[in-house]
């Protein structure tokens, strides 16, 4: 594992290839083929996952040897060629970067084919197929000369010459989509555009994590898989239709509907299928006679509004479709001493359904001086409900913490964008953009308030009655007569917080801000 060619800087190698080919078979029949491929390798300093200490209320990452962080947090009087004691063993940053590093390999390949046919002038049929493969590997090499090896020796190995930790995620997706579109204009006033179709999607995900030991210079797989997740198979079917009508290009109305089904929620028939829809309209005021006289000062003026009901399948981390039983080998120093075990990682969540959202939007588009200046403003109101998250239950089925539709949320906001083409010449163009947005969110229902440690962590945590990812802190009451901070405890002000950061009752009291 000792690689003398390793440098302190990360090495990145990248290769990409793209192919786009269109062939017109007949005057009304054409085919299009698109192929993209990319491959990337990168070396980075070795690091371990961060851990949370609920008793002391801290988050730490063991052996974070990122050169930038090390330089920022290490005294400059230390000799970079000397070894210093760290966790009871010798440590030198240059030596550690050579003997403790990670290698990333990412492969992405996509093949897409599309066929379009127009049997008559106003009708177009289209068939689209996409196949994609994504493979991401993370290899962590730790030699016996590394400082972190002594931290892992008691946990993983005894008497071997290193640790090889591999994490591999492979995703294969297949998409098939077919549509039929009808477009027709009558009397130069009435324009119809109707689209209908169906799509099928299949995604297979494999995740393997291995920890192996090295007895020689070559890494040998002496330990079985550790922490491997079961393979997941996602399937989705949807039918959709959309219709647009325009009168004299002044009044435009659109209606969209979608009926979608997925296996993400397992055998629960009540949540397998979900209809969603959208209604929108636009009034092109610049087409009215009253505003045509203002041209070219006002070159574009449109008022639009929409109301929609949409849905989402929820976070990918939520495994809801089935009960997952994972086999694992016991950690033993020698393969012949290993024993197989089974543990319940997730149980089927039959009561969970789609995350849903209702949204109302009204906006105004303004174009001035032949669209040299464009102004867009929007106001929206949203209501998200049946949001998926973790909640604490009674332990029925073998789990106290389960996935469920645990939260509702309301939000509203404004957005303003201004774009101007200041100078437009063949040899020089100057364009400026200004975007302003303000919005407010409020969680109206949440069945899991979390514990104190989660609320006061730097990343934020949701809490009923507060914005999304709100930041909380234990109330500071000032200093005592000798300069020691006084904090609001569970019962009364005190110098040192003595409550357990895992408790949840403390979160509902007035001592968190």
| Full-model pTM | 0.76
Alpha carbons 352 and 266: distance in angstroms, whole number: 10
pLDDT for residue 78:
85
pLDDT for residue 253:
97
Cβ partners under 8 Å of residue 432, min gap 6 = 419, 420, 422
Model confidence at 492: pLDDT above 80: no
Q: Which of 400-414, 430-444, 492-506 has the lowest mean pLDDT?
A: 492-506
**Band of pLDDT at residue 263, cut at 50, 70 and 90:** confident
pLDDT for residue 324:
65
Q: Whole-angstrom distance between the N-terminal and C-terminal Cα of the chain?
A: 50
The average pLDDT across 110-123 equals 95
Model confidence at 260: pLDDT above 50: yes
pLDDT for residue 62:
64
Residue with tokens 């979900």: 274
User: What's the pLDDT tens digit per position in 205-241?
Assistant: 888 776 555 444 444 443 433 445 567 788 899 999 9
Helix/strand/coil percent split, the chain, to 5: 10, 60, 35
Model confidence at 8: pLDDT above 60: no
User: Residue 347: in which H helix or E strand, if any?
Assistant: none
Alpha helices in 74-136 (DSSP H): 93-99
Model confidence at 318: pLDDT above 90: no
Model confidence at 2: pLDDT above 50: no
Alpha carbons 44 and 25: distance in angstroms, whole number: 49
Alpha carbons 136 and 130: distance in angstroms, whole number: 20
pLDDT for residue 7:
47
- Smallest CA-to-CA distance from 451 within 395, 390, 385 is with 390
pLDDT for residue 349:
72
């Amino acid at each position: 594992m000792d690689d003398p060619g390793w440098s302190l800087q990360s090495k990145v190698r990248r290769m990409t290839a793209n192919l786009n080919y269109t062939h017109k078979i007949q005057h009304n029949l054409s085919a299009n083929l698109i192929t993209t491929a990319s491959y990337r390798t990168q070396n980075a300093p070795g690091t371990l996952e961060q851990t949370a200490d609920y008793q002391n209320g801290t988050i730490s990452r063991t052996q974070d040897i990122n050169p930038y962080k090390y330089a920022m947090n290490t005294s400059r009087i230390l000799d970079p060629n000397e070894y210093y004691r760290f966790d009871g063993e010798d440590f030198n940053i240059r030596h550690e970067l050579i003997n403790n590093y990670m290698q990333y390999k990412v492969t992405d390949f996509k093949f897409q084919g599309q066929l379009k046919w127009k049997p008559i002038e106003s009708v177009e049929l289209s068939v689209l197929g996409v196949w994609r493969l994504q493979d991401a590997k993370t290899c962590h090499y730790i030699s016996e000369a590394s400082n972190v090896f002594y931290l892992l020796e008691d946990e993983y190995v005894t008497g071997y010459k290193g640790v090889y930790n591999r994490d591999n995620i492979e995703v294969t997706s297949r998409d098939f989509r077919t549509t039929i579109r009808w477009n027709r204009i009558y009397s130069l006033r009435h324009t119809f555009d109707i689209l209908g179709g169906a799509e099928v999607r299949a995604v297979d995900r494999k995740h393997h994590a291995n920890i192996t030991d090295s007895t020689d210079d070559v890494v040998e797989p002496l330990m079985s898989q550790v922490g491997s997740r079961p393979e997941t198979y996602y399937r989705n079917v949807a039918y959709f239709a959309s219709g647009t009508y325009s009168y004299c290009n002044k009044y435009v109305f659109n209606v969209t509907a979608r009926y979608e089904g997925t296996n993400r929620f397992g055998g629960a028939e009540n949540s397998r299928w979900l209809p969603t829809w959208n209604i929108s309209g636009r009034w092109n005021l610049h087409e009215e006679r009253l505003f045509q006289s203002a041209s070219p000062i006002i070159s574009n003026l449109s008022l639009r509004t929409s109301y929609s009901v949409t849905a989402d399948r929820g976070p990918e981390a939520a495994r809801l479709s089935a009960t997952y039983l994972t086999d694992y080998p016991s950690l033993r120093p020698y393969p012949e001493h290993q024993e197989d075990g089974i543990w319940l990682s997730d149980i089927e969540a039959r009561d969970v359904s789609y995350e849903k959202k209702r949204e109302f939007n009204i906006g105004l588009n303004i174009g001035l001086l032949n669209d040299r200046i464009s102004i867009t403003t929007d106001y929206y109101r949203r209501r998200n409900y049946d949001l998926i998250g973790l909640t604490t239950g009674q332990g029925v089925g073998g789990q106290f913490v389960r996935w469920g539709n645990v939260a509702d949320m309301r939000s509203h906001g404004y957005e303003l964008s201004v774009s101007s083409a200041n100078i437009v010449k063949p040899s020089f163009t100057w364009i400026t953009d200004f975007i302003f947005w303000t919005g407010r969110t409020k969680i109206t229902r949440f069945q899991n308030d979390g514990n104190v440690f989660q609320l006061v962590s730097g990343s934020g945590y949701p809490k009923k009655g507060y914005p999304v990812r709100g930041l909380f802190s234990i109330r500071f009451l000032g200093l005592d007569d000798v300069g020691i901070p006084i904090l609001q405890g569970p019962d009364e002000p005190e110098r040192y917080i003595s409550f357990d950061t895992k408790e949840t009752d403390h979160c509902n009291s007035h001592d968190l801000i």
